[in-house]
Structure 1
Amino acid sequence: MGVVAVIPARGGSKSVPYKNLHPLGGKPLLAWPIETALATDSIDRVIVSTDDEKIAAAAQSHGAEIHWRPPELATDTALVIDTIRHLYRQLTERGTADDIMVLLEATAPFRTPELVGRCIDRMVAENLDSIATFNEASVNPERTWRLVDDMPVPFIEGAVPWKPRQLLTPAYQLNGAVYAFRPHLLPSDSPSILFGRMGAEVIPADELVDIDHQKDFIIADAILRSRTGA
């Protein structure tokens, strides 16, 4: 059973220009998922999907193959799943498609090879079509509100926002660290990467940092320094 890691990395980031090449811990952000994928025993190959020459050069220097995506799949509004479909079609046409794809976005640099491996192992052992990583929701839905004519109303009808934490219904959120799926079963008309027989790998929220803005790099660097004692 072949497993390929796919890392989307377009060049047009606006929150942080060239975010995928921004340094974190002495190496570009893009290097983190590549190195994690290469260190995961069950992954056979690593592909970076990009539209940018600089990102392609950095990806290759760290050991990844390159998938060139067309301009329409590199816009702010383009969906990752459409890039995945484009890549899978190309791999299928070349006869090099794998049984399982693992999506590793560069914005979650602190995932580990062990975590990636667990997701792949569960797919095989439990005969899953897809699996993703989750953590406990930062705000329980029972404590959220909406405004109706400027008046606050519980977002979930009948919910009691003041209920003790221990009595709240457990809620979880996707964190984007790992998605693994069988690409030949990808739905053709849905934006979801979770489909079919799905699994959830629940991890502590403090194990991850989601990189989106410049302040997130500052937080990530501080975490790295605390881990190394630098």
Structure 2
Amino acid sequence: MSLFGEHRVVALIPARGGSTSVPRKNIRPLGGTPLVAWSIEVAQSVEAIDRAVVSTDDDAIAEVAREHGGTVARRPAELATDDALVLDAVRYHLTEWRAEGRPADVVVLLEPTCPLREPEDVAACLRRLAEGDLDSVATFTEASLNPHRAWRIEEGSPSPFVEGAVPWRPRQELPEAYQLNGGAYVFFADRLPDDGVAPLFGRAGAVYMPEARSVDIDTELDLRLANLLVE
């Protein structure tokens, strides 16, 4: 039996065409496969997910998505700008699907920029949401910089970012710190706040992902490094 019974679980993959840091990023090859296809293939490998939908404003991305078995949902141009919020596109599609009579009950948001996630990472988020009294779940990895080693600089003078922190303490003595890695955000659609900006909200849960699978592709260098890891 499905984790969520008769509820529909939809993976939504946001892939706009106007990336500026890495032009045409979402269809650039990673290990010979277009970046957006990695998320489609992961979604298709998770038993609990009913369909994988690519949200885009771009014809080339839509074509690649269909070639790799994804469904395409077109979003308006104003929801695909540099400063548009991904959650506004999510709300747009949820409203459209409800109007069409095929609502999504659980949303699995898979950003193409974290392509090395495994199906098990996504499945673990779904299990966490299904088994706990939660509204949303997200994947985390170790923080790239422990906040106890961060600094403020005010008028040219440095001071520890965390008051009382000793940045020179050995790593083993620092408190554990984690950061969101963009691997997956999973939440109940009807609990998504109307005006929130974050896909992690309400009673939230965390799923750990190792650093090796938490590559975030934001620059050309990131893409080169990811290709090296895949090779």
- TM-score normalized with structure 2 length: 0.94
1:17-74 deviation line (CA, Å, top 9, x unaligned): 1111101111111110001101111100111000011111111111111111111101
The partner residue of 1:87 within 89, 93, 111 is 93
Matches within 5 A, 1:155-174: 155-174=161-180
| Equivalent position amino acid for 2:173 in 1 | L
Superimposed CA distance per residue, residues 49-106 of structure 1 (whole angstroms, 9 cap, x where no aligned partner):
0001111111111111111111110100001010001011111111211221000011
May I ask how many residue pairs the two structures share in their alignment?
A: 225
Q: Tell me how far apart the structure 2 counterparts of residues 138 and 157 of structure 1 sit (CA, whole Å).
A: 20
Offset at 1:166? 2.4
SS in 2 for 1:138: coil
1:220 CA drift (Å): 1.2
SS state of the match for residue 220, structure 1? helix
2:155 is the counterpart of 1:136? no
Where in structure 1 do 4 or more consecutive aligned residues deviate above 4 Å?
Answer: none
1:101 aligns with 2:103: no
**In the alignment, is the contact (CA less than 8 A) between 2:142 and 2:177 conserved in 1?**
yes
- The 2-side partners of 1:206 and 1:123 are apart by 24
Distance in structure 2 (CA, Å) of the matches to 1:11 and 1:189: 25
Q: Distance in 1 between matches of 2:187 and 2:99?
A: 19
Moved more, 91-100 or 101-110: 91-100
Other-structure match for 1:60: 66
In structure 1, the residue matched to 2:216 is 210
Asked whether 1:147 is paired with 2:156, we answer: no
Name the counterpart of 1:190. Answer: 196
CA distance in 1, matches of 2:170, 2:225: 31
CA distance in 2, matches of 1:166, 1:17: 40
For residues 165 and 13 of structure 1, the distance between their equivalents in structure 2, rounded to whole angstroms, comes to: 36
Shift of 1:156: 1.3
Percent pairwise identity? 52
Q: In structure 2, the residue corresponding to 1:30 is in which secondary structure?
A: helix
Q: CA deviation at 1:192?
A: 1.1
Residue 120 of structure 2 corresponds to 114
Partner of 1:221 in structure 2?
Answer: 227
Which residue does the alignment assign to 1:9? 15
Quick check: 2:141–2:214 contact (8 Å CA) kept in 1? no
Shift of 1:127: 2.9
Question: Amino acid of the residue matched to residue 16 of structure 2?
Answer: R
Does the residue aligned with 1:176 lie in a helix, a strand or coil? strand
Provide the C-alpha distance between the structure 2 equivalents of 1:51 and 1:134, rounded to a whole number of angstroms: 29
Corresponding residue SS for 1:34: helix
Distance of 1:207 and 1:49 partners within structure 2: 23
RMSD after superposition: 1.0
* 2:174 partner amino acid: L
Unaligned runs of 5+ in 1: 226-230
Question: Displacement of 1:149 after TM fit?
Answer: 1.3
- Partners in 1 of 2:84 and 2:37 — Cα distance? 23
